[in-house]
Structure formats: structure tokens, C-alpha cells
């Protein structure tokens, strides 16, 4: 389906969702036009790259959103600092997986993320992969969709020992949390997961879990409070869509994921698989305290 088709469909679900889709399409076009070209690259940190494409896409999205409403816009590149969590806001990531985009790691990684928050809840979210043309979106309480078709995770349970789990790590190893490092070690043990990988870090991995077209069943996102890797722009839309599709998202302490909290968390096809990962974390935490 084209962006116009998606916008027609999302308008039936929610006017705000249609606005989000149009904003994402503006950024997506800039990303698609800029792919496979040479760009001036800046580094925000080790393995954390940004270019003029990020800034142009961010400006296109935020300018459009500002023309549609007077709601606060939080964006990764142009307005990332939040002193007080607002009651209502748009949350924008104009180009998630910027490093993958700039290094041409694969067209399946870069995405545009946008969510609308009201009274502490994400009410709608969009994840658009502009290089593959895929659209994932959801409105709170009305389910999730991919390219105009209902997105529902199959009901069969995935056991930890049969699962492929992705470890979404920092590019800078000095920022890796002890909890994430220990959990990766535990999941790679003989009674851990069947496959544990660390591919290109990208928030859109939750959509690959939701579509269930591969064996990928869960991902663990590292987050260091002092240097947040997964900000609200990375979390709000993918987590909301995954949950609306029937998946689960939990912090390592078993709480609901707060996009503004900055702590490690798990996204999973099922609640039971997420709980199995958390049990591994608890085991490693206990062993660390006893040593």
C-alpha cells in the first residue's frame, strides 16, 4: 500500500494517527532520497552516528506537526530535552538506526518512529520503514496493523530454549549495564535461549517480533540511566504497537515500560517468554549479590 492508502486507512481509525502517518511519510521520503549517497557524518558517541538526513527529516516532521496542532513536540534531534514529562505530546524519531542507514547495513533497519501521548499513555503510534516501504501502526485499544492488514501475533507459546533473542546493545561498550551483560551471558548458556544475537541496534526490532515472519521472539534493550540509549522516541511507538498486536514489553524488574524512565527492558512475542527472560535476570542478579 502507498502512503496515501495508509493515510486513508488510518484516518478511519484516528485523525491523530493519520497525522502521524503523514509526518512519517515526509521524513521517509527524505530518507529514501538520501539512501546510498555520501553524507557528512557526525558522531554523538561511539557507534552513535548522525547526519544532515536526520536533521532534515526531523525538521520536516516537526514543522508539519506544528502546523497541525499546538501540542509539544519531543524529537530526538531538534528538541530532545525534557525536564518535566508532559501530559500531552508528540514524540518523534526521524531516523532510527541512523548508523545502519549511514553504513548501509541493510534496508530493513532504518525507520521513522512517531507516537502521540496523552495523560501518560501512548494513544497512537507509527513505525515506517522507508527503504522497504513497510508501515506498522496502532491506536490504543483498537489493535495493530501492518500495511493495512490486521497485525496479530500467533497464540502459540514460545519456550525460552526454542527462542531466538536479540540483544540490542550500546555501540560504546563502556556504557553497557551490568544487568544487560549478565543477562546476555545467562541467555547464551546451555539452559538459555536457542539463539542469541547482537545485530544492528534498532528500535524497529519490536516490529520484526510482532510480524512473526521469522524465529525472532524477543529482544533485550540495554539502557544506562546516565547515558540513555533508548529514549522516549525509540520506545513509545514500537512498544505500543507490539502490545496492541498481542506482544509484551517489561522492564527487567517486571514493570510496565515507561518511555521516559531510561532503563533496560524486554520486548517479546508473549508474556510468558518475557517472564522467562526476567527469571534469567533475577537468577544472575542473585548470583552476583551472593558472590
Per residue of the chain (291 residues), give pLDDT as tens: 777 788 889 988 999 999 999 999 999 999 999 898 755 656 565 555 567 888 899 999 999 999 999 999 999 878 777 778 889 999 999 999 988 888 889 999 999 999 999 999 999 999 999 999 999 999 999 999 999 999 999 988 999 999 999 999 988 888 999 999 999 999 999 999 999 999 988 999 999 999 999 999 999 999 988 888 899 999 999 999 999 999 999 999 999 999 999 899 999 999 999 999 999 999 988 776 665
* CB hemisphere CA count around 210 (13 angstroms): 32
Can you tell me which residue has the cell 552476583?
A: 288
d(CA 206, CA 257): 13
Cβ atoms 168, 220 nearer than 8 A = yes
Model-level pTM greater than 0.85? yes
Cβ atoms 77, 55 nearer than 8 A = yes
- The dotted CATH code for 160-290 is 3.40.190.80
Q: Is 53 helix (H, G, I), strand (E, B) or coil?
A: helix
All three cell numbers of 186? 545467562
Architecture label for domain 3-151 = 2-Layer Sandwich (3.30)
All three cell numbers of 252? 527487567
**So where are the chain's domains?**
3-151, 160-290
d(CA 110, CA 127): 10
Amino acid at each position: 500500500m502507498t502512503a496515501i492508502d495508509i493515510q486513508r486507512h488510518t484516518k478511519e481509525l484516528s485523525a491523530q494517527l493519520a497525522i502521524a502517518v503523514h509526518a512519517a511519510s515526509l521524513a521517509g521520503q527524505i530518507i529514501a532520497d538520501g539512501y546510498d549517497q555520501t553524507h557528512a557524518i557526525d558522531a554523538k558517541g561511539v557507534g552513535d552516528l548522525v547526519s544532515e538526513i536526520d536533521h532534515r527529516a526531523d525538521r520536516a516532521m516537526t514543522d508539519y506537526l506544528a502546523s497541525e496542532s499546538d501540542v509539544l513536540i519531543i524529537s530526538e534531534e531538534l528538541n530532545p530535552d525534557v525536564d518535566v514529562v508532559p501530559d500531552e505530546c508528540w514524540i518523534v524519531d526521524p531516523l532510527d538506526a541512523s548508523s545502519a542507514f549511514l553504513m548501509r547495513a541493510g534496508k530493513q533497519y532504518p525507520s521513522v518512529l512517531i507516537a502521540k501521548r496523552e495523560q501518560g499513555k501512548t494513544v497512537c503510534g507509527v513505525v515506517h520503514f522507508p527503504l522497504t516501504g513497510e508501515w506498522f501502526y496502532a491506536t490504543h485499544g483498537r489493535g495493530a496493523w501492518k500495511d493495512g492488514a490486521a497485525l496479530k501475533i500467533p497464540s502459540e507459546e514460545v519456550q525460552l530454549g526454542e527462542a531466538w533473542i536479540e540483544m540490542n546493545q550500546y555501540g560504546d561498550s563502556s556504557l553497557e549495564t551490568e544487568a544487560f551483560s549478565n543477562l546476555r551471558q545467562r541467555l547464551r548458556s546451555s539452559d538459555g535461549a536457542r539463539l542469541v544475537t547482537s545485530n544492528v541496534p534498532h528500535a524497529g526490532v519490536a516490529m520484526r517480533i510482532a510480524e512473526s515472519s521469522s524465529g525472532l521472539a524477543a529482544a533485550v534493550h540495554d539502557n544506562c540511566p546516565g547515558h540513555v540509549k533508548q529514549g522516549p522516541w525509540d520506545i513509545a511507538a514500537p512498544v505500543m504497537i507490539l502490545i496492541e498486536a498481542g506482544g509484551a514489553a517489561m522492564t527487567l524488574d517486571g514493570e510496565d515500560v515507561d518511555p521516559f524512565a531510561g532503563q533496560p527492558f524486554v520486548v517479546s512475542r508473549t508474556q510468558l517468554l518475557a517472564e522467562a527472560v526476567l527469571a534469567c535476570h533475577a537468577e544472575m542478579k542473585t548470583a552476583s549479590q551472593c558472590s
